[in-house]
Structure 1
Amino acid sequence: MKWDALEEESCSISRTLAVIGDRWSLLILRDCFLRVRRFEEFQSKLGITRHLLADRLKKLVRFGVLRRAPYQTNPKRHEYILTQKGLDLYPILMTIVHWGDIHMVDERGRPLVHQHKTCGKFFDPVMVCSECGEPLKAKEVHTHPGPGALPVKEVAAASDKAPRKKALLRAS
């Protein structure tokens, strides 16, 4: 599996990592959800180089997670706004936040708490079954091949090719 070809893999995790699988992209998304939108704000908050920030923002725009919108004409400047595809990443970021709140806090406690605007309560994000509403636990979930899975023959052929390709490269 090649890091720069993850988006071509027959695996939803690999394809998602192609978009958000580096720390800068995740931190940019975190800031987007905290309503940061402008290049200078991202750079200031993250301490990231201009080149690296521009690269990550371009990637997030290319994958349709963010869209560029002009906010100034002279000089021309853009802000970066979450698309629906970007907004759909919210549960992933909240799951990472929740894990960090449980396993990575120090004696001071959580750096941020989250309040649901609708009911006014502070909450912990919980992943639940879309069918019965029960909380999901890893040991209570089974997986089965879906319609996008490679047939067994293709999986075997793909795994057979990898060692041959490496052997051919070593021989040449």
Structure 2
Amino acid sequence: MTEPDIRSLIMGNPVARAFAITGDAWTQLILREAFYGVRRFGVWRERLGTPRSVLTDRLQKLVAAGLLSQEQVATGTRTEYRLTEMGLDMFGVAVVQGQWEKVWAQSPLQERYAIAFFDRESGRRLKPAVLTRAHGVEVKPDRVDWKPGPGLIIIPPPTSRRRRSAPIETDRPIIDRSTEIMGDYWSWAVLSAAFFRLRRFDEIHAALGVATNILADRLNRLVLHGVLEKRPYQTAPVRFEYRLTEAGLALYPIVLAMHGWSQRWLIEPDEAPLTLVDRASGEAITPVVCDLDSGEPLDPRRIRWELEAATGASGKEKSPADAKPDGR
């Protein structure tokens, strides 16, 4: 197999395929509300304030992609949208994204409370982590390598979704501030380029093929939010490179979780565009978000969660998600 070019690696890998479907802020927030049990158009509108046309578009796309099913209830007078198995499997990605923003992009609610997960039947506290496979071991980023596969082709980016211009403040302790930082396809593409060690504007532009004004906007926003840092590498004239900060590197578990989801739902086994492997053993890694102690994949139908007072806060509050957080 010939050596793949960098553009194919960035825009054809499993994560790029996944974020072409779920990478924008509205889609992430809609899925989050579905995990809280929301099924009806009007409730999403009330919870998120999403423009009607945007909400219609995103729900239709999620149904077409297979994450939601559309069902008629109440003698056919009302439509509900329910999470499919494919949509439910996105829960682990949401959990990992929430863990990241709790550390690096706290909302006012997250400053007061931490979210805790428990097994519904046993009451045992769960420890979400990205494992190499179900019942595997926790993924160590410095041991992950990759190899290209036969399905490595560029996937056209979405063309109809603009980055949301203003943040939304919600009372959910998960998937909130992070959507302001990385809630669109091109932000994730820039981050992907950074993980492939592209650091200069011209080389990122060449790899992504995105308009220069869009690229400049995403780079500036990622710097503003502390995910990238801007360093001069030339003085006459001054030119800069963009490097992942500690917060940026901490996004890697989200990338792994999304890679695993994409492997399970978007890619045929014999057509993998890119496979993750253990650097030492060469064993394939198929990332999945599990409970660290039991090795069982996180299933929202078997989980309840609560808000607990964060360090330095007082009191305890149960989350609305304690009642059927699976949309069913």
Query: Aligned with 1:114: secondary structure?
Result: strand
Which of 116, 124, 137 in structure 1 is aligned with 2:298? 137
Query: 8 Å contact 1:32–1:82 — kept in the other structure?
Result: yes
Equivalent position of 2:183 in the other structure: 21
C-alpha distance 143-107 of structure 1, shift in aligned 2 (>3 A): closer
SS class of match (2:234): strand
* Other-structure match for 1:36: 198
- 2: CA distance, partners of 1:106 / 1:120: 21
Unaligned runs of 5+ in 1: 156-172
Query: Displacement of 1:128 after TM fit?
Result: 2.6
Amino acid at match of 2:218: R
- Alpha-carbon distance in structure 2 between the residues aligned to 1:25 and 1:51: 13
C-alpha distance 116-75 of structure 1, shift in aligned 2 (>3 A) = farther
Hey, which of these two has a bigger chunk of helix by percent? 1
> What displacement does 1:5 show?
2.1
Structure 1 residue 119 displacement after superposition: 4.1
TM-score between both structures, scaled by the size of structure 1:
0.75
Q: Secondary structure at the match of 1:128?
A: strand
State whether structure 2 residue 216 is matched by structure 1 residue 54. yes
* Equivalent position amino acid for 2:258 in 1: I
Amino acid at match of 1:116: D
Deviations 1:36-88 (A, max 9, x none): 11111111111111111010011111110111111222221111111111111
Q: Structure 2 matches for 1:1-172, cutoff 5 A?
A: 1=48, 3=164, 4-6=166-168, 8-11=169-172, 12-105=174-267, 109-130=271-292, 132-138=293-299, 139-147=301-309
Larger RCO (CA under 8 A, 6+ residues apart): 2
Asked if 2 retains the 8 angstrom alpha-carbon contact of 1:24 and 1:56, the reply is yes
Secondary structure class of the residue paired with 2:204: helix
Deviation at 1:10, TM superposition (A): 3.5
Aligned residues: 149
Identity of matched residues, %: 32
5+ residue gaps, structure 2, are: 1-47, 50-163, 311-315, 321-328
Query: 1: distance between equivalents of 2:242 and 2:296?
Result: 34
What displacement does 1:118 show? 4.4
The alignment's TM-score, normalised by the length of structure 2, stands at: 0.41
